[in-house]
Chains A and B, each alone.
Chain A
Amino acid sequence: MRSSRALATSLRASKNEFAVLRNTDSLVLKKAFRKSATLVAMSYLLSSSIPVMAKPAEVRISVERELAFGTFMIFGSGRRTIGANGIVTDESIVALEGTIPSPAQFTVTYDRGNENNHVLDVEIEVFVSTTPMVRIGGVEGRLSNYQTDLPGFGRVSSGQPLRILLPNCRTRTCSRTFRLGATLDVSRTFGGADLVIPIPIDAILISDDRQRR
Chain B
Amino acid sequence: MCVIAGLAAGPAQAQEQRETNTLSGRASASVVQPLRVAAVEDLSFGTVMLQRGQGGEIIISETGSETTYTGALHPICRSGSSCAAHRARFAVSGQNNRDYGIGLPLRLPVTGHTTGTHLSIDRLSAASAASPSLGVAGRTDDAGHDSFSVGGSLQVPAGSKADQYRGDLTVTVFYY
Q: Which residues of A contact B (CB under 8 A)?
A: 56-63, 66-75, 80, 94, 96-99, 104, 106, 113, 131, 139, 141, 143, 180, 182, 184, 186, 188, 190-205
Contacts and interface: CB of A to CB of B under 8 A. Distances in A.
A69 B175 CA distance: 18
Question: Closest 6 CB pairs between A and B?
Answer: A69-B29, A199-B25, A192-B33, A67-B27, A71-B30, A197-B27
Contacts of A139: 31
B22 A58 contact: no
Contacts of A73: 31-35, 175
A113 B19 CA distance: 13
Contact of A196 (B17, B28, B32, B35): B28
A186 B28 contact: no
Given A192-B95, A205-B20, A184 B175 contact: no
A193 B31 contact: yes
Contact of B23 (A67, A141, A201): A201
Given A67-B26, A97-B176, A196-B26, A188 B31 contact: yes
B23 A182 contact: no
14 contacts: A56-B14, A59-B19, A72-B30, A74-B31, A75-B34, A191-B33, A192-B32, A192-B95, A194-B28, A194-B29, A195-B30, A198-B25, A199-B25, A204-B19
Contacts of A68: 27-29
Contacts of A61: 21-23
B52 interface: no
Interface of B: 14, 17-35, 95, 175-176
Contacts of B33: 73, 188, 190-192
Given A67-B25, A96-B175, A195-B31, 14 more contacts: A56-B17, A66-B27, A71-B30, A71-B32, A72-B29, A72-B30, A73-B31, A73-B175, A104-B26, A106-B23, A186-B29, A192-B30, A194-B29, A195-B30
Contacts of B34: 73-75, 94
